[in-house]
Amino acid sequence: MVSKDLVAASSRPMILGILAQGENYGYEIIRRVRELSDGELEWTDGMLYPVLRRLEADGLIVSEWRVSDAGRRRRYYQINGDGAEALATERKQWRAVHGTLEKVWGPA
Amino acid sequence: MSHREATAAEQLAIWRRSLLAHDELLRDDLDELEAHVRTAVEAQTAEGTPEAEAAASAIRDVGLPAEIAAEYAKFDPNRVWRRRLRRMLAGVLVGMVAVLVAAHGARVPLLAVRRSPGPHVRDNVYAVSAVACLVLLLGAAVMPPRARLADERVALARAWNFLATRPWTLATAMVAMLLGVLQWSGRLEQVAAHAAGVTLCRRGRRVHGDALRRRPRRRARVDVRDREWRPRAGARPYLLATVAGQ
């Protein structure tokens, strides 16, 4: 299980990355993360939404309330140009960290 | 009291109320969190979990209200104060209108019954409300933390804090003080007279605000026996009737 600090630190690139694949809403974003990490990344559900608020306040994503096909009112999030740029920067930095750790630890 | 388990709807209602207690959360945030929990409940019930159980687990997964609120406050620390300030201003406005309407309503009966200066009575009401509210607020500020109180005093502290931490307490104190000042400076007389559709006169001559203010303090409170109320041109009939009836 990944530590709380690491989960918090990776939430921003994770959300931007998922939204880069298409617009999405909170519940589905959490479900995607859980699925992609095989349950290793465990988010407290309520903690995602303040991060989404912050990303929106930073102008990286936009949101819109819409009624889903199932008839439920949901807030859908979409990444914008600035968000895509921020994601590119994040990706570069995380790759640098990941690459360095790989070299330090050697092949698993 | 029955010990049956709370239904999903009851659990959600209780949970939403516990979130409402946190000023950090805006209505939009609450709606979004609720939509999340409801989606989670639907997903679990679709897999065969009983609805009440699904609701309990979805609420547990979403995290403690205080922790969620703290997260929201982290990225926008001022949102609580912006919200409280807005609420307080709204409280002051509503309070002002209410007190003005009440003062207007009380004016005619007071004059009719007492034939003595009404303003003194109102002055006392304003002063007592202002002092009472301020005592409540000060009391809450100096009240020791609950943990240090003896059990029997916890209920008292809780009641006191409940009264003192409502926005209307401060709003009432502010309105009462404001009205007290207005009353003292003689302005409220004119505002109330205007609202009642009458012109304030003294010995047949119209009293202007400036004339009132230029008078020495003691004379600024016009003795009612000295005064006539004359219907203003274009005033509404029911107000004329009220004034004429006194």
Count of the separate structural domains present in chain A: 1
Helix (H) or strand (E) holding B230: strand B227-231
Tokens 């968000």, located at residue? A83
Dist. CA A75–CA B92, nearest whole Å: 34
Do B138 and B61 belong together in one domain?
no
In a domain, B131, yes or no: yes
Q: Which of B75, B98, B116 is the last residue of a domain?
A: B75
> Tokens 């100096």 sit at which residue?
B142
Please check the confidence at residue B4 and state whether its pLDDT lies above 50: yes
Residues B51 and B139 in one domain: no
Among B240, B239, B234, B182, which Cα is nearest to B212's?
B182
Give me the pLDDT at residue A95, please.
95
Q: How confident is the model at residue B88 (pLDDT cuts 50, 70, 90)?
A: confident
* Same domain membership, residue B112 and residue B177: yes
Is residue B163 less than 8 Å (CB to CB) from chain A?
A: no
Q: Please, which pLDDT band fits residue B82 given cuts at 50, 70 and 90? A: confident
Residue B242 has pLDDT above 60, yes or no: no
Residues B85 and B57 in one domain: no
Q: Are residues B46 and B63 in the same domain?
A: yes
Beta carbons of A69 and B31 less than 8 angstroms apart? no
The confidence band for B131, taking pLDDT boundaries of 50, 70 and 90, is: confident
Mutate to test the interface with B, among A27, A48, A73 (most CBs of B within 10 A): A27
User: Within 10 A of A18 (CB to CB), how many other CB atoms are there?
Assistant: 18
Q: What is the pLDDT of residue A81?
A: 92
Determine the average pLDDT of the residues in A5-30: 92
pLDDT score for B35:
92
* Pair (B68, B121) in one structural domain: no
For A43, the 3-state DSSP assignment is coil
Domain containing B104: what range? 81-245
Nearest to B143 by CA among B156, B125, B132, B129: B156
A28's CB contacts (< 8 A; 6+ apart) are: none
Q: What is the CA radius of gyration of chain A?
A: 15
Tell me which residues of chain A, numbers 31 to 70, contact chain B at a CB-CB cutoff of 8 Å.
Answer: 44-47, 49-51, 53-54, 57
Q: How many domains does chain B have?
A: 2
What are the contacts of A52-56 at 24+ separation with CB within 8 A? Answer: A52/A15, A52/A26, A52/A77, A53/B29, A53/B72, A53/B75, A53/B76, A54/B75, A55/A12, A55/A15, A55/A16, A55/A83
Residue A104: what pLDDT? 94
Please indicate, yes or no, if residue A98 is contained in any of the structural domains.
Answer: yes
Per-residue model confidence (pLDDT) at position B165: 67
Asked if pLDDT for residue B238 goes beyond 50, the answer is no
How confident is the model at residue B173, as a pLDDT? 74
pLDDT (tens digit, 9 = 90+) per residue, B147-199?
A: 455 555 667 777 777 777 667 777 777 777 777 776 665 666 666 666 666 65
pLDDT of res. B13: 87
Query: Are B77 and B186 a contacting pair, CB within 8 Å?
Result: no
CB contact under 8 A, A53 and B67: no
More confident residue, B205 or A40: A40
pLDDT, position B153: 63
The pLDDT score that the predictor gives to residue B194 is 65
SS3 B150: coil
Is residue A108 in a domain? no
A75 contacts on B by Cβ (under 8 Å): 28, 31-32, 35
SS3 per residue for B15-75: HHHHHHCCCCCCHHHHHHHHHHHHHHHHHHHHCCCCHHHHHHHHHHHHCCHHHHHHHHHHH
For residue B23, which amino acid is it?
D
pLDDT at B154: 65
ipTM: 0.89
Q: Residue B222 falls within a domain, yes or no?
A: yes
Greatest pairwise CA separation for chain A in angstroms: 51
Average pLDDT, chain B: 68
Tokens of B25: 């959360």
According to the model, what pLDDT value does residue B93 have? 78
More reliable by pLDDT, A62 or B125 = A62
- Per the prediction, chain A carries an average pLDDT of 91
